[in-house]
Amino acid sequence: METIVFQSDQIKQAAALLRQGELVAFPTETVYGLGADALLPESVKQVFAVKGRPSDNPLIVHVADFSMTKNFVESYHPLTEKIVKNFWPGPLTLIFSIKSGSLSPVVTGGLSTAAFRMPDNKKTLSLIEETGAPLVGPSANTSGKPSPTTAMHVYHDLKGKIAGILDDGATEIGVESTVLDLSGKIPTILRPGAVTKEKLEEVLGIEVPLDKHLVKESETPKAPGMKYKHYSPDTQVLMIRAGDWEEALEWAEANDKKVGLLATPRIADQYQSADRFVFEDDSIEAATRGLFGGLRALDEANRTDIIFAEVFPEDHLGLAYMNRLKKAAAQKYFTKK
Ligand code: TXA
Ligand code: MG
């Protein structure tokens, strides 16, 4: 199959393919998604096949506005209106209990709840409207690869396997949306993202807990997808704490290991390395935006034996950055002898 890269003025062509049951990757503010019409179970099945994704991992239903969720949702949490008003469109996925039979079990993994998100990308909102149906959209990478933040990343992983990619440049945020469970009494964060715990608490005026597995590693995550080993490059990744760079690089030198640096200019400007991917500036926003692309670039260049990645404090957006980095690094930090 030829994979057509659509420019952002070719929404009608891309929507026509989706209506025919084909798969088309779409841009969002977080990462690129692998789109299929959520109401066509055969197409949704293809999404799992193409990604190599386990079938018990349910998908997000992307809508063009809040009213599109009403056909599916059984009951809304009392805070829904406030949350939607403040954070949609945006990087926040909401879990609701659904009317039985309203969505195929292929979409929900057979659960009585489903995930909904209105992405903050005009092209994709038009694409959903033009298709006339919500779109499922897991990240448009091969399972186990970092999520794609450019159309090129999608093309690299899925060319020949999907009908099209709607190209809208690099994504702004760089990690997947926050997943907030609204199916129970207490809104709970199942996956950290750019709508942070602190922002949610400020707007809602209540404490918004993290799912147990985000606090304690031995707990089973409530979002099925969080249990899989994600975002892992083939090259080993070590996380480097602020005071440890000098020693970590000395250790690499002594052991003849070629280092790929993944760091802010603040760190990268001080040290030599065989290869490097430097974030646009020293902010956590720039680091989060660059993380997946940086991991891909350093991994695929095959010039390095080990990637040294900068750590950030685990609060605000840093919680989302560290959640993804820790998975890529299999939790490993460089430690001094
Ligand atoms: O930013 C994003 O969310 C991107 C873009 C494309 O929108 N999409 C994305 O999809 O990251 P995916 O499939 O990679 O992640 C969806 C997450 C998974 O961890 C999945 O297990 C969880 O949401 N999820 C979906 N339905 C759920 C449900 N009913 N209950 C709990 N977790 C659910
Ligand atoms: Mg994913």
List the 306-310 sheet strands across, edge first.
236-240, 306-310, 259-263, 275-278
Q: Give every CB contact of residue 245 below 8 A, 6+ residues apart in sequence.
A: 267, 270, 271, 308
Our answer on whether the CB atom of 57 is closer than 6 Å to any ligand 1 atom is yes
> 289 phi and psi, to 5 degrees?
-65, -35
Residue nearest ligand 1's atom 20 by CA? 225
Ligand sitting nearest the alpha carbon of 181: 1
Amino acid of residue 55: S
Per-residue pLDDT of the chain (337 residues; tens, 9 = 90+): 999 999 989 999 999 999 999 999 999 999 999 999 999 999 999 999 999 998 889 999 999 999 999 999 999 999 999 999 999 999 999 999 999 999 999 999 999 999 999 999 999 999 999 999 999 999 999 988 899 999 999 999 999 999 999 999 999 999 999 999 999 999 999 999 999 999 999 999 999 999 999 988 888 889 888 876 666 777 899 999 999 999 999 999 999 999 999 999 999 999 988 899 999 999 999 999 999 999 999 998 888 999 999 999 999 999 999 999 999 999 999 997 6
- Measured in Å, residue 146 CA sits from the centre of ligand 2 at 8
Q: Give every CB contact of residue 208 below 8 A, 6+ residues apart in sequence.
A: 180, 187, 188, 189, 197, 200, 201
Other CB atoms within 10 Å distance of the CB of residue 234: 9
pLDDT confidence of residue 235: 87
End-to-end Cα distance, the chain: 53
Residue that the structure tokens 């602190």 belong to: 198
pLDDT confidence of residue 231: 66
pLDDT confidence of residue 132: 98
CA dihedral over 68, 222, 210, 289, signed as positive or negative = negative
- Measured in Å, residue 30 CA sits from the centre of ligand 2 at 11
pLDDT confidence of residue 337: 67
Q: What is the best residue among 60, 99, 230 to mutate for testing ligand 1's pocket, by most ligand atoms within 8 Å of CB?
A: 60
Contact 128, 64 (CB under 8 A): yes
Distance between CA atoms of residues 130 and 60, nearest Å:
19
Our answer on whether the CB atom of 143 is closer than 6 Å to any ligand 1 atom is no
Our answer on whether the CB atom of 191 is closer than 6 Å to any ligand 1 atom is yes
Contact 97, 77 (CB under 8 A): no
Our answer on whether the CB atom of 33 is closer than 6 Å to any ligand 1 atom is yes
pTM over 0.75: yes
Three-point CA angle 51, 192, 315, nearest 5°: 145
Our answer on whether the CB atom of 114 is closer than 6 Å to any ligand 1 atom is yes
The domains of the chain, with CATH numbers, are 4-204 (3.90.870.10), 236-328 (3.40.50.11030)
pLDDT confidence of residue 224: 85
- Measured in Å, residue 256 CA sits from the centre of ligand 2 at 34
Q: What is the best residue among 107, 176, 227, 288 to mutate for testing ligand 1's pocket, by most ligand atoms within 8 Å of CB?
A: 176
Q: What is the best residue among 30, 61, 74, 139 to mutate for testing ligand 1's pocket, by most ligand atoms within 8 Å of CB?
A: 139
Residue nearest ligand 1's atom 15 by CA? 138
pLDDT confidence of residue 233: 76
Residue nearest ligand 1's atom 10 by CA? 138
Q: Give every CB contact of residue 102 below 8 A, 6+ residues apart in sequence.
A: 71, 72
Which residues of 178-258 form beta strands (DSSP E)? 178-181, 188-191, 236-240
Token pair of 199, please? Answer: 């922002």
Distance between CA atoms of residues 284 and 319, nearest Å:
10
